[in-house]
Amino acid sequence: DAMVIQNPRYQVTQFGKPVTLSCSQTLNHNVMYWYQQKSSQAPKLLFHYYDKDFNNEADTPDNFQSRRPNTSFCFLDIRSPGLGDAAMYLCATSRKIKAGDEKLFFGSGTQLSVL
Amino acid sequence: GENVEQHPSTLSVQEGDSAVIKCTYSDSASNYFPWYKQELGKRPQLIIDIRSNVGEKKDQRIAVTLNKTAKHFSLHITETQPEDSAVYFCAASIMEYGNKLVFGAGTILRVKS
């Protein structure tokens, strides 16, 4: 009964070829996050949506974009993947803080390889 | 912005011993401090968290302590077991409308049987 679902689990793309990673949630959470985790490193926040409001981190490259067409789905688009973009991409969700539950729920991640 | 430092980077303990991992944070406005366990190739799993209005929290073999004045917090695992072997991440955030976690660099914990 996965609550935050990421597809695909593994994605292989070519250098410079656009790729889209998807995330869906059954929790009806308002906030969705995308984290990048490179090998042996900590997860790093790329951006998040608070409802429909998009919030980009200052150091997130322009190569990364995101879409959230509705509450349940969120997409990460990498316009021109480079070798340095190979990483695990983690989607996470949470309620609005005012709801009193701050916990993040992570998906299983998509491992992206760039050839 | 927030910066979280975590020590040690690797920790080896004998089964049954205790393990302690320490983190410091830079932004005094941070008010939420979770700890995650991550096994190879898997998602981070929340094991315990603490808010800034609490000094200590315990859940069976796991405890977290927070010193707001010194801006540091620690994870304590007692009676370690081989299945505790994993990477542990601390994190800090300023909870506003969302909960943007800033993670420490992680600690590889090895429990030797």
Query: What would the two tokens of residue A6 be?
Result: 């990421």
DSSP string spanning B57-88?
A: EEETTEEEEEETTTTEEEEEE-S--GGG-EEE
Minimal C-alpha gap between A21 and chain B (Å): 16
Residue window 17-46, chain A: list those with CB within 8 Å of chain B. 31, 33, 40-45
Q: Is A81 on the interface with B (CB under 8 A)?
A: no
Contact of A35 with A107, CB cutoff 8 Å? no
Give contacts of B98 with chain A, Cβ < 8 Å. 31, 33, 48, 50, 55, 94, 97
Question: B80 or B95, which is more confident?
Answer: B80
Distance from CA of A79 to the nearest CA of B (A): 24
User: A2: pLDDT confidence band, cut at 50, 70 and 90?
Assistant: low
The answer to whether B43 contacts A102, with C-beta atoms less than 8 Å apart, is: no
For residue B98, the model assigns a pLDDT of 74
The 10s digit of each residue's pLDDT in B1-34 is: 889 999 999 999 999 999 999 999 999 999 999 9
CA distance B80 to chain A (A): 23
Dihedrals φ, ψ of B65, to 5°? -120, 145
